[in-house]
Amino acid sequence: MRTRPTRDDTREKLFEAAAQVFEERGIGAASIEMIAAAAGFTRGAFYSNFESKDDLIVAMLEDHVERSLQHHRRLLERHLNPTDFVAALRATERSRQDPLGRAPLLHMELILFVARSEKRRPELAQRLRARRKLVADIVTATTRETAGGEVRNPAWASSMLLALEDGFRLHRLIDPDSTPADSFFRAVGELQKLVE
């Protein structure tokens, strides 16, 4: 006899379906009905798992942040050498597990969603600053190791790198051919030449 799916299974399926529908039609144009149907449920299932669309979005975002964090932690544990870390990051970039990692349009839309939310913006800003700090450290370490010099201003290099990452992501949405997928990593190499 078929066992009833667990609550976590249902939530997971709704995450997947929501990411897909959001990616295809945009957050605004996606209705609860569409998301539930794409997951093979009705709206009843949705409302028994989430309070509202906003609730779902916040949950998705937290899920994504959590997975990203764990992913980076795992990489850092396995690849203590910073050069290897960048290489590993590059290699795993394409095969991300969470729904959000595979949906660049949605990724951007979620940033705007948060940017518009007075309540959640500080949280994301904090996260951005933390990432900037981490990247600054990595840049310093890798540059010292590979180029044998010091980056003049790691914080600034880090700002540029993260802006580049999202900038390339954005432009690839409009014209996928224009900026190859590894543009970001190439930029890392370029910026390492700015040593003294």
Q: Residue numbers of the site for DNA (CB under 7 A)? A: 1-7, 10, 31-34, 36, 41-45, 47-49, 52-53
Q: Does 129 bind a second copy (CB under 8 A)?
A: yes
Spatial separation of the C-alpha atoms in residues 157 and 151, rounded to whole Å: 8
Q: Does 118 bind a second copy (CB under 8 A)?
A: no
What is the x/- site pattern for a second copy, positions 27-56, by CB under 8 A?
xxx---------------------------
Q: Does 116 bind a second copy (CB under 8 A)?
A: yes
Alpha carbon of 98 to those of 13, 60, 95, 133, 165: distances in Å? 12, 10, 9, 24, 19
Q: How far is the CB of 127 from DNA (least distance, A)?
A: 26
8 Å CB contact between 78 and 88: yes
8 Å CB contact between 19 and 100: yes
Of 5, 7, 9, 26, the one binding a second copy (CB under 8 A) is: 26
- Tell me which residue of 69, 126, 119 sits closest to 96, measured CA to CA: 69
Q: Does 94 bind a second copy (CB under 8 A)?
A: no
Q: Does 65 bind a second copy (CB under 8 A)?
A: no
